[in-house]
Amino acid sequence: MKVACFSTKSYDKEGFDRLLPEYGHEFTYFELKLDEKTVSLAIGFDAICSFVNDHLDETTLDKLAQMKIKNVVLRCAGYNQVDLKKAAELGIRICRVPAYSPEAVAEHAVALLLTLSRKTHKAYNRVRENNFSLEGLTGFNINGKTVGVIGTGAIGSAFCRIMKGFGCKILAFDLFENKDLKNLGITYVSLEDLLKQSAIISLHCPLTPETQHLINGKTISLMPEGVVLINTSRGALIETKAVIRALKKRKIGYLGIDVYEQEEHIFFRNLSEEILMDEEIARLMTFPNVLITGHQAFLTKEALAQISKVTLENLNELGKGDLLTNEVKWRSETK
Ligand code: NAD
């Protein structure tokens, strides 16, 4: 298939170019994000390959259908950026890469947690300036803490297993309980109990209408003073304004995020010579107890190799009209 690949970075291109001879698809790479304005670049292609902040909204999907493009492969796990109802109406088929490396994301969540707990980011900068003072570097142990995991799918489960190794007590909340995790000694509780009892909370559920702003003023009020909040899932799970208020009051003791509510206008680009216009991320960056990474949790060699492979396999299935292993379908009960 002739594939128009949007939001392309060098690492995407490397991953696909390595495997393309084996699969025979033809990729044209565009750095531009897919939206209603850029979609016309795909005229004459058979399929679209897109990433987390590309817009597959009603207008863009309508334009794709007019261009007779009925195949979309997402090179990511999350699909909150897609209007699935509209895609179904237009007969556009959407495939994703459901679990390219859950460990990559889970390990990044742990990296955020460890950096915050032991202030290694501050130590690194100090030592480079010959400042070997330990003042202000007191951390906290993770061992023995109660960790709350919201969403125990592929990534949440991997995170639970790592935290188990740290000697934590783990509470979980999900719509479905995972038997293997229960056998490991992980306890499923209500969301309310998890929020009340966890010293560390990590978010691993998808962004849906039900989970948008799951972390808000009300849910934060249930959390213990000084709670550590980690989000590697999707920015809009957190109501940023409420989190800023809680950081000011020290209700939230530490915040580690790889995703941000308004990241679409900021992440994946070098803005070092520009004026940052987003007041909320600017405010977040002023807190000494906040650590932000720019949606890089997925970015390991292993994950990239798997993303390219599964995306190309998804294209093969779409091309053959086979049953689609990784199709994302609209479910009327969820939207
Ligand atoms: P998954 O589908 O395997 O697991 C998601 C889990 O969340 C499921 O067990 C599901 O039952 C649960 N869930 C759904 N709605 C819920 C709700 N309302 N409350 C509680 N639990 C709920 O997905 P995954 O592979 O583990 O990925 C999780 C999320 O991580 C993705 O949706 C994506 O947004 C995010 N992600 C981020 C990165 C990154 O680079 N930062 C990379 C990959 C995925």
Pure H helices in 184-248: 191-197, 217-222, 240-248
List the domain boundaries for the chain. 2-100+301-333, 102-292
Q: Whose CA is nearest to atom 15 of ligand 1?
A: 205
2-100+301-333 and 102-292 agree in CATH topology:
yes
The CATH class that applies to domain 2-100+301-333 reads alpha beta
Q: Give the pLDDT of residue 265.
A: 87
206 CB less than 6 Å from ligand 1? yes
Nearest to 217, CA basis, from 251, 189, 265, 191: 251
Ranges of residues in the chain with a pLDDT under 50 are 333-335
What atom of ligand 1 comes closest to residue 204's alpha carbon?
28
| 151 Cα to the center of ligand 1, angstroms | 6
The CA-atom distances, in angstroms, between 180 and each of 52, 144, 152, 164, 188 are 30, 22, 11, 13, 12
Q: Active-site residue numbers?
A: 234, 263, 295
Q: Whose CA is nearest to atom 23 of ligand 1?
A: 153
Q: Which residues pair with 60 in a beta bridge?
A: none
Mutate to test the pocket of ligand 1, among 9, 155, 238 (most ligand atoms within 8 A of CB): 155
Q: Give the pLDDT of residue 335.
A: 38
Mutate to test the pocket of ligand 1, among 74, 105, 258 (most ligand atoms within 8 A of CB): 105
pTM: 0.92
Q: Give the pLDDT of residue 332.
A: 66
Give the tens place of pLDDT for each residue, 216-247: 999 999 999 999 999 999 999 999 999 999 99
Q: What CATH number is given for 102-292 in this structure?
A: 3.40.50.720
Q: Give the pLDDT of residue 99.
A: 85
Computed over every residue of the chain, the mean pLDDT equals 96
Q: Give the pLDDT of residue 334.
A: 45
210 CB less than 6 Å from ligand 1? yes
